[in-house]
Amino acid sequence: MQGAVSKRTVLPLFVLCLLYLGVNALISFYRWFPEYEWRFIVIPSIEGMCVFALSLSAGFFRKPLRVTLLFLTACVCGTLVWFGFGEGVSMQAYGMHFDIRKDLAFLPDFLIMIFHSETAGKLSVIITGAVILCSLGAGVFYALFALTASRAARLGKRVLFLMAGLCVFLPFTEPEGSLPVRLYATLLENSEHSIEQEEPEILYTEYVTENTVSYAFPFLKDRDVFLFIFESYGETLLSKEDHFSRMEPAFYETENILSEAGFSCFSRLIESPITGGKSWLADATLLTGIRVDSQGLFDALLNTGFYNMTHIFSDADYRTIMSAPGTSKAGNAWKSFYRFTEYYFHDDFGYKGPYFCFGSMPDQYQLNWLRKGPLAENTGPLFLMSILVSSHTPFNYVPQYIDDWDTLGDGSEFRETKNLIFENRWLSGKEYPEGYTASVAYVLRVLRDFMRNEIDGSSLVIIVGDHQPRFPIRERGASSSVIMHIFSQDRDLVFPFSFYGFNEGIIPERTNDPMKMESFLPCLIEIISGKWIERKHVTGM
């Protein structure tokens, strides 16, 4: 008789433990998924225990009230799980908290990027999918909690009190980091952002000397400036052995070939405000000198008319070009904030080849299109900002480099080339190190050949990563630092960067104190205006 009682007690208790682990794993997704911290699956969370306690207590009420309580518990759990999923994906991909008010606006573009289909981003498709998923989720959670309630009723109150007592001594996660607290903070976050940094216009006016009759930028002497934003060009290429061992030959080959062509190079690690994605925040940080680390701040900045790098070159009568093949269109607020005279987006390139990750076209095709088209027109000093896309996640399809650029047509030739294919996907991959480093090496080769064959050697070339790749491509706990290079065949033009922490060579020195990305614009202004000479006298170099 005692053995039978024991079985009737142990089996429901075992089922309850399994049910709890399942609920806790779902609700704790935002804790264990970003950097695969598996222990959080079993470490009780405040919200997980509260939901589980509600479902347990439902077993001691009569049917009408029990059904109502179970339904409310399923709704609460569903809300936490879906928000937790958004939080987990946002932290894993971008290293920032999920902002339910801002991030949902990017859902259509995100789905189009994932599924390579415009249909996936239609509002009707999104609403239909959301209704189906929510309905299925509600049904699953209700059934799960109904099973929990029935097992709890079989155990009796004394066993439940014992379980509740044990919970007091379990290592709960911090309440301040719980999902409801994060959701509450997101919904009530102050949307007003103050811009306190000194405007570049003031800095530039201060640094320009009186002997500027011939040049807007005395030290630059109004030579062309090329700014290449290198997708996912992060410090992990140096800090992670599996990456550096594959990239070291490509680094030195690039350095040697460009050195033979007369280029000098200075490099430094730069701390990006983001990791994993949302590159436009890094672009804004670089161009404005303001740390733009959230969508809310970016939106507020667009409405300020804040003076930035594009205004500086435009006011100096530079022809300013933005090349962004990964962008389909840009809003009027974005265009009015930046002051490019020419914009080239995805549809402008006339690409007819196969799809290669984000932006669809290889970087070699983008730069070749620019050299044959806009860059072939010689209309005075040029400032070009090119957004490179071939090293974008998921690092599964890397184009073959074509030696003869003149044979590049509309991109259809890439259907016949021996492109590299790696077994990687958006959320998982077996060949991440291979695919990631192959894509970075490809972009480096494209840039080096474009520089030595198409760029006037006395020009100033700036190459900078936008952000680190997401985890697990980057290592757990990695910094947000990216790599920056400054190139020119005029060594006197790039040498001043050494006074700002840049070391000579293509591999930057590792440091725990990288330059912040927002500090680069004041640095650039000081150099091109000649103010750096004062720094030289102060340092005694």
Sorted by where each starts, the structural domains of the chain and their CATH numbers stand as 2-188 (no CATH), 223-485 (3.40.720.10)
**Sign (positive/negative) of CA torsion 267, 271, 272, 274?**
positive
Residue 387 confidence (pLDDT): 94
E strands along 142-208, which residues?
none
Per residue in 513-537, pLDDT (tens digit) is 899 999 999 889 888 887 766 655 5
Residue 343 confidence (pLDDT): 92
Question: pTM for the whole thing?
Answer: 0.83
Task: Give the separation between CA 460 and CA 489, rounded to whole angstroms.
Answer: 8
Residue 508 confidence (pLDDT): 95
Residue 235 confidence (pLDDT): 95
**Alpha-carbon radius of gyration of the chain:** 28
Element spanning 420, H or E: strand 420-421
Residues of the chain with pLDDT under 70: 1-13, 109, 112-114, 116-118, 120-121, 154-215, 359, 532-541
Residue 212 confidence (pLDDT): 47
| Helix, strand, or coil (residue 228) | strand
Per residue in 151-184, pLDDT (tens digit) is 777 666 665 666 655 555 555 555 555 666 666 5
Residue 533 confidence (pLDDT): 67
Nearest to 17 by CA among 140, 151, 154: 151
Q: Give the pairing type, strands 319-324 and 264-271.
A: unpaired
